[in-house]
Structure 1
Amino acid sequence: MILPFTALFFVVNALGVLGQKPFLEKAGDRQWRIGNNLWSIVQGRDTATKLQFKGRDLVSGTKGHYLSIGEYGNNGKTSLQWTSADIVQRGSDFIDIRFNSNEGEMHWVIKDNEPGAHQYFVNKRLPRIGEFRSILRLDPGLFPKGRTSVKDGNLPSLSDIKKSTKTQDETWKKSDGSYITKYDWSDNVRSMDFYGVYGGSFGAWYMHAGRDYFNGNHLKQELMVHRETNSGDAVMLNMIHGTHFQASSADEPPSGKMWGPWFLYFNGGSVADAKSRYESEVKQWPYSWVTDAAYKSRGVVSGDLTLQDGRPAAGAAVFLGDNNPTKTDMDMGTTYYYTAYADAEGQFSIPNVRSGTYGLRAWANGGNISDVLTTFSKNGVTVTAGQTNALGALQWPLPGRQKVFQVGEYDRKSTGFGPADRPMFQAGLIDRCPASLTYTVGRSSPADWCFGMYKRGTWTIAFTLDDPPPAGKQAILTVSLAGYSGMSCGVTVNKKTNIGSFRSSNPASDPGTYRSATVNGEWRLWEYKFSGSALQKGANTVEFTVNEEQQWRGILWDTVVLEFA
């Protein structure tokens, strides 16, 4: 059968052979339509709507796609306003479309026959930011499920949320005692793969092949997807500078800082297909089509970390951050940041580092060096395009103390503590930790020490000294917390000597324990120094006592260590 020309045209066009090339066209006053033969979207003054893919509007009835900033010290969010659009680069198979605002440039890189776009933002004059994000709100009927690297399944229904009792920020208690909260749909920024929302016919996914533009270190966590509790929208959050699980963030990015490119991908709802596409993106990073000279200027940093006692720093977490930093690792977010782990011999190599000068920091990540409580630091690490800065042998100083006991491994996480095999994020799981607990050194295991604490009560570590405390020696109790959410906890020795409290130094609070985190929030470390005479030969105890309880405002444990120095 010979098809008429018009029928043949539509068949061929459906196959993408005669498909429309990537385009930018005017759609009204400060409105532009962009896309290709597979999809299109209409960008307005602030929001982008009418996202057409496979014959459907994926954002029907929602706010669509937009960027917003949370200025430090201001609880509100401001959407960026777009004033103009143009094509800044044309390749053989793509165009780079720039939308301009007072704060910076939002780019959509659209290729031939590609179901999605690479996006990136170039700063001009952002204020001192706490949060910076792009958001995509999608039709809940088309996108009933969510997926992160640690959770995959149905998003909570709006009807279930409305039938439940609100207990706190975006958290509801169901009649069966379980909880609904958006924070269960969070993930680790540095170790995640891809994330998104999907259904039987459609999927939308964010893919970050590179991570150097994110703020924070290895332990940085963020909210990824959720069900919007007023409208029911399926929401994808792209928190390129976020604070959901840290104490604070106040960064002034320089003009020219680039966030991205990341990839916004649309498909038929297949997770396996999204995984394949993510793996392809990783292989292509850093992207060759980016022409920015600073983006292309990259080198390598390598080194060999050895502890002062001769042990290799096996598995150590290695972080390239601010040079001569004035902030915590988690709060760093001005320029670009890189993470790695040393191998079993303490050797590390960090490729594709942007040219510049960095501060290198390293800390124990459990394993063979889980007793090391100090942080290695080296400033003035320079990176030059196309070269390797081989730092060579790096000796990690140790304080030379005499250990009495250690509960848990030092890795800045609550791993190893009970309950075993818990998810990274689950609202209310900390309720399973008891109000009071006794851990006996030499008999108990880390699994007997629960991961978190917030209830009124006393946790006790019982231990025995075979000999009297060394004469003239000072005792040091080090408490490393994987997260601290503002609780007041007194610390005593042998039930009579008060050596301090978690609030005594007025630390900033992170939201980890009340936002579903079970592994970490933002790391803290306290050292309580006291006279060794407070201890005795034979039985001794250290007590942690909570007198005022507020639901889920507590701590996530990392390790507790007693030493003489």
Structure 2
Amino acid sequence: MRTTSLFAALAVTKAALAKGPFLQQLNSTQWIFGNHLWNLTQGSTYATNLQYQGSDAVGKAYGHYIGYDGESNLQFTSASIVSNTSDYIDVAFSASLGDLHWVIYPELAGAYQYFVNKALPDLSILRTLWRLDPDRFTHGYNTNKNDKLPDFSLYANATKIQDETFLFPDGSYVTKYDFANYVRERDFVGVYGDKTGSWYIHPTYEYQPGNHLSQTLTVHRESKTGDAVQLNVVQDTSHFRVGNKTPQPVGKIWGPWLWYLNDGSLSDARRQAAHERKTFPYAFLKDTAYHSRGSIRGKLTLSDGRPAAGAAVFLGDTDTSTRPLVQGSGYYYTAFADASGAFSIPNVRSGSYGLIAASNGGAIGDVYTNFTSSPITITAGKTSHLNNLTWAVPTNRQKIFQIGAFDKKATGFTNSGQHVHGLTEKGPANLTFTVGKNTDADWYYASSKLGSWDVVFNASAPNSTARALLSVSLAGYSQSAGLTIYLNGNKTLGSISKDTLTSDPALYRSGTISGEWRFLQYDIPAEDLKQGSNVLSFTTDRYTLWRGVLWDSIILEWVL
């Protein structure tokens, strides 16, 4: 618990009576700031004593801080009001690596925040966060999950089995990844109770790295102290993917976003989030590059004539060879094409980008190629019209069977859904899937246990020169599980193991939808397929608890 000096306590009392936004220095390493609705005491690292609704909302918890890659937390050496208008003040807390800004309005419960880089190293994680009074903040919320945080008392008799993952006496698992979700699908994130709510609202996710499949943590219970943890991870090229550190340009801005306080009402937070999205980009940020924006429009058509309906469109780095999931030095935008293949992205920062499009299932769920185009130039005040873009897809193919749609996710398979730890153990060791009889729902999201998953299908070569092509799309892979692919019991087509793939942590961090996408193909001579019934076996021959293969799609085709 942090103590407050008599002088600081008097300053807090005085601040509670103040009307306008303010910053007051208490000593060389301590400041108090806020408005008449709330105020906060900032130390060199932690901000504590959050006065709101007449009491301290931090209590014995750690409070607010910012850091990168583990527990490398920033230390502030000075604070100043960098902008003072009749509407707001912009308070900057300065550290050697960058400046954290709080934009405070007179009648707003909360503040806008943004961070400006000065000297950050190459990194994978950057986050601000609150650790708040657990008795006051009892529940967590993100777009996909709204639930009570586990009671802290339960951790006393729990067994820690891995990174912030615990087995409770009743046999259930709890992990800090339970509330993880896809960043670009969020409306807002927060912790709340019957009296108070603390929320992070992002009007845009342009400063977040990665594409549609980028996911990270949001809220959880701190296992050592019981603090209610409200995370604001604004840079993540590590969790749920093959990790990568990226350089950060000097002057890069993460934010602004709104940290918002209320009485715990979800509906009020939702209304505020809608308001923030309407007012983006924010006028208070005095940065020319931030306000230099254009837009982009285009239409994607497959080379076989079909519209690229529902395609996932990613506007990222000009180097399109860099995996979209770990692009993280610039600003990034996503959209989905409509039924005609048309897409648009407004409010894009001026500059050069690379465009990547991929199937998101649905009408083009059989497409496993990606569309790329680079560079794409965005000019301030203008719309970049890409007109008709042709997406090359193979046309000399005849499908034998397909399990799952290509969307780089395990959607449609049994047990795929929210983050839940240990579900790999609920999948079968052995499974028989008969083409024409079974459906995608009969396949499980992951293979982990020792055993064989057999696909029974009929094949008949369309001509004497045809060969078959097996395409295996994985939504993720966690080592050290191993899997071998056999045809008709004796023909080895290939293997999936730590020797051929780099591990991502999605499966053992409670991921049931996606981690890092991998795509494998195997040629099969026509003579290796029998006329009539054949069996394609995916045999798990190396077992590691909670590790294995996370499935996306399997397709077998004749190449004509």
Q: TM-score range by the shorter chain?
A: over 0.9
Q: Is the 8 A contact 2:474 2:549 kept in 1?
A: yes
- Pairing 1:34–2:33 present: yes
SS in 1 for 2:131: strand
Cα distance between partner residues in 2 of 1:445 and 1:176: 34
2:505 matched to 1:511? yes
| Residue in structure 2 matched with residue 554 of structure 1 by the alignment | 548
The CA deviation at 1:175 is 3.2
Partner of 1:48: 47
**C-alpha distance after superposition, 1:392-435 (max 9, x if no partner):** 0000101222221111111111111124xx64211122322111
How far residue 235 of structure 1 moved from its aligned partner, in angstroms, is 0.3
| CA drift at 1:502 | 1.5
1:25 has 2:21 as partner: no
User: How far is the alpha carbon of 1:507 from its aligned partner?
Assistant: 2.2
Q: Which residue of 2 aligns with 1:348?
A: 343
Q: 1:262 aligns with which of 253, 257, 274?
A: 257
Distance in 1 between residues matched to 2:370 and 2:402, nearest whole Å? 18
The 3 A distance-change label for structure 1 pair 405 and 44 is same
Which whole-Å deviations, capped at 9, do the CAs of 1:195-221 have from their partners, x for residues lacking one?
Answer: 111111111111111100001110111
> CA 1:504/1:129 → structure 2, altered by over 3 Å: closer, same or farther?
closer
Question: Which of residues 440, 444, 447 in structure 1 aligns to 2:441?
Answer: 447
Identify the match of residue 123 of structure 1 among 117, 122, 126. 117
Return 5+ residue gaps in structure 2 as ranges: 1-12
The answer on 1:383 being equivalent to 2:378 is yes
- Answer whether contact 2:461 2:526 (CA < 8 A) is retained: no
Report what 1:240 is aligned to.
234
Map 1:438-517 → 2, pairs under 5 A = 438-465=432-459, 467-468=460-461, 470-486=463-479, 487-503=481-497, 506-517=500-511
Identity in percent:
46
Aligned length: 543
Q: 1:475: how far off?
A: 2.5
The CA distance in 2 between the partners of 1:373 and 1:511, in whole Å, is 23
TM-score normalised by L of structure 2: 0.94
Distance in 1 between residues matched to 2:160 and 2:465, nearest whole Å: 55
Counterpart AA for 1:436: N
SS in 2 for 1:508: coil
Match of residue 102, structure 1, among 96, 120, 126? 96
TM-score (norm 1): 0.93
Is residue 223 of structure 1 aligned with residue 214 of structure 2? no
Query: Structure 1 residue aligned with 2:183, among 166, 183, 189?
Result: 189
Partner of 2:66: 67
Match 2:276 to one of 263, 281, 291 = 281
Q: Tell me which amino acid in the other structure corresponds to 1:128.
A: D
Displacement of 1:498 in angstroms is 1.0
Deviates more, 1:355-364 or 1:26-35: 26-35
- Displacement of 1:529 in angstroms is 2.3
CA-to-aligned-CA distance 1:227-280 (integer Å, 9 cap, x gap): 000000000111111222111121101111110001111111111111111111
Residue aligned with 1:283, SS: helix
For the residue of structure 1 that corresponds to 2:61, the secondary structure is: coil
Give the residue type in structure 2 aligned to 1:194.
F
CA contact (8 A) 1:245 1:511 kept: yes
- Match of 1:533, SS state, is helix
Superposed displacement of residue 443, structure 1: 0.9
Q: Which moved more, 1:294-303 or 1:396-405?
A: 396-405
> What is the CA-CA distance between 1:504 and the residue it aligns to?
7.1
Give the equivalent residue in structure 2 for 1:10: none
Query: Which amino acid in 2 is paired with 1:25?
Result: Q
Q: Which moved more, 1:244-253 or 1:293-302?
A: 244-253
Distance, in Å, in 2 between the alignment partners of 1:275 and 1:86 is: 32
| 1:28 counterpart letter in structure 2 | N
Which of 318, 323, 333 does residue 328 from structure 1 map onto? 323
By how many angstroms is 1:35 displaced?
0.5
Q: Is the 8 A contact 1:469 1:532 kept in 2?
A: no
RMSD (Å), alpha carbons: 1.7
Secondary structure of the residue aligned to 1:368 is helix
How many angstroms does 1:146 deviate by? 0.9
- Matched position secondary structure for 1:547: strand
Counterpart for residue 9 of structure 2: none
Give 3-state SS (helix, strand or coil) of 1:66's partner: strand
Match of 2:202 among 188, 200, 208: 208
Per the alignment, in what secondary structure is the counterpart of residue 267 of structure 2? helix
**Partner residue, 2:3:** none
Q: Does structure 2 retain, via aligned residues, the 8 Å contact 1:27–1:42?
A: no
Q: Is the 8 A contact 2:45 2:65 kept in 1?
A: yes
Distance 1:327 1:376 in 2: 14
Structure 1 counterpart SS, 2:177: helix
In 2: Cα distance, 1:19 partner to 1:42 partner:
15
Partners of 2:41 and 2:498 in 1: how far apart? 54
1:315 shift after superposition: 0.5
Hey, what does 1:412 align to over in structure 2?
A: 408
Looking at structure 2, the residues matched to 19 and 471 of structure 1 have their Cα atoms a distance apart, in angstroms, of 86
Q: Which residue of 2 aligns with 1:3?
A: none
Secondary structure in structure 1 of the residue aligned to 2:326? coil
* Structure 1 residue 19: Cα displacement: 4.8
Instruction: Tell me how far 1:522 sits from its aligned partner.
Output: 1.9
Q: Give the corresponding residue for 1:522.
A: 516
- Residues 1:148 and 1:30: Cα distance change in structure 2 (over 3 Å): same
CA–CA separation in structure 2 for the residues paired with 1:41 and 1:325 = 44
1:402 aligns with 2:398: yes
Specify the code of the residue in structure 2 equivalent to 1:471: S
Aligned to 2:162: 168
Alpha-carbon shift at residue 503 of structure 1 (Å) = 2.4
